[in-house]
Chain A
Amino acid sequence: MENIWIKIGYALLTIFIVLNYGLLLQGLFRKIGARVGRRHGIRIWQPWVDIIKNYTFRSRIYHGVMYYLGPVFRLTGGIGLLLFLPVIYGSEMFSNFSFTGDLMLVLYFQFFGVLGMALGAGESGHPYSAIGVSRGLSQVTAFELPLTLGVLAIGLQYHTLNINEIVAAQQGSILNWTFFTNPFAAAAMLLSFLGAMGRSPFDVVLAPQEIPIGPPTEFNSSLLGVLQLNRAIFPVAKLILFMNLLFGGATNWGELIIKTFFIYFWSVFVGIAFPRFRVDQSVRWFLSIPLILGVIAIILIKF
C-alpha cells in the first residue's frame, strides 16, 4: 500500500514537470513561429500568465452539467494518458501507472478526453463547437488508420505491445531505434503524429486565432484554464509516446526533453512550412501517403 502512495507522489511530480515543460514548449514555439514570421512574438512565460489569468477571472459562467464536465474529461484524458505511459525508461517510479495497461490502452485512452471535451463543447451555445468537433473527429479517424498500421508493424516487429519492452528493444545504439529499424512504420506514424498534434496544416479543428471555430473557444475562465493545463500536458504525453515507440525512449529527464523537443519541432516545422488543409483534404491526405507508408511497413515486416 505504501508503494501506492509513493507512486502517487511520483505521478504528481511527473505531472508537474510535464506541465511546466509543456507550457515552456508552447511559449517557445509561439516565439519561434513569430520570429519566422518576422514578428516580435510573445514573452516566453506568456502561457503561465494566461493560465493564471484565466483562473482569476471574476465572471464565470457555464451552460450546463456536461459543459462543466467537458474540461474535466479533457484533462483527465491528458493526465491519464501521461500516467499510463512509462515516462522514463528503467525508472520504476516514473513509469507511473503503466502497469495497468499496454500500448493499446494508451492509444484508446486518448479518446477519453477527446470525447468528453467534445461533449462539453457540444452543450455550449455555439454551433461552431459542434462543427469543430465534427471536423476533429473526421480528422482523427483518418490519421488513426496509418497510425494503427504503424503500431501493428511495431507490435509485430518487437512481438509485444508492452511499451517498456518496446523501449527496451531499442536500447543500445541509436540504430536500434524503430525510426531506423522500421523506417516506413516510423514515417507513417510521424505523419499521423502531425494530425494528432493538431498543428497546421491540420489545425482547422482547433481554434487558432483567426477563425473562431472549435471547442476551446466556447470555454472561459477556469474552465478554459483546465483546458490550457491539458494543452500543456496532453501534447507532451503524446510526444513521450512517440518517443518511446520510435526514438528509443528516455532514460532520464534530460534525454526526454531533448528527444521530445525535436519531435515537437518536427510538427512545428511542418506547421510553419505548410498552409492549412480543409478537413476533407486532410482526410484524403492521411488516407493516401501515410496509409501507403503504413501498408508498406506491414508488408516489409511480414514478408
Chain B
Amino acid sequence: MLRNSLFLIVLAAFAVIAFTLVNAWHPAESLSPVAEHYATNGPTEVGAANLVTAVVVTYRGFDTLGEVTILFVTAAIIGFFLSLFHSESPEQTDRLMPASEILSTASKLLIPFMLVLGIYVFVNGHLTPGGGFQGGAIIASAFVLLLLADPLSKLNHRIIAMVESVSGVAFVLIGLLGIFLAGGFLDNRILDLGTFGALLSAGVIPLLYIFIGLKVGSELTNIIGHLQQTQKNR
C-alpha cells in the first residue's frame, strides 16, 4: 500500500506535467505546413482521394512498412514461442464444445461475405475510409469466426505463411521499384496516377494496399491461429 500511495504522488506529479503540456496546447486553427502541403499537393502528387491513405501509403510509406513488419515479427515471435512449448506434445482429444448449429451455419454464410468486405475495404483504401489494415483485420475476423464455428478446423499455416511472405516481399519489391522507376523507395508513381477518384488510380497505392491487406490479414490470422492451437493442446 505504501507503494501505491507513493505511486499516487508520482502519478499526480506526472499528471501535473501532462497538464502543462495540455495547458500549452491550443487547438489548431489551421493546418501545419506539412499537412498543408499534403492537402494542397496530395491529390496531384499522389492521386489518392483519401489523404490519410496518401500519407500512410506514400508520404509515410516507410512507417507503414515498419508497421507491417511489427505485425509480422509479432506473429513470428508468437508462432515461435507457442510452437516451442507445444510442438512435441501429442494431439489430445479436444474438449472444446463444438459450436452451436446456429453459429456454424451463420458463419458459413458470413465468412465469404466478410472476406469480400475485407477485400473491398483495402482495394478502396485510397478512396474511402479504410485500407489495408482495416481490411486485413476484417479478413482475420472472418477466420476467427471460422475457428469459432469449427474449433477443430486447423488453419493451413503453410498457406498463410506463404501469403504473408509473398505479400511482404512484394511490398518491399514494389518499394524497390520506386527507386528505379520513380523518385525513391516506396514511391507510388511507378504506375500512372490515373484519374483522381477512380478505383485504378493513385499509382501503386491500390496494389500496395492489397498486399498490405493480405499481409496484415494473414499475419493476424496467423496470430489467432497460433492461439487457437494453444486451446487444443496443453
Q: A and B: direct contact (Cβ < 8 Å)?
A: no
Chain A residues near B (Cβ < 8 Å): none
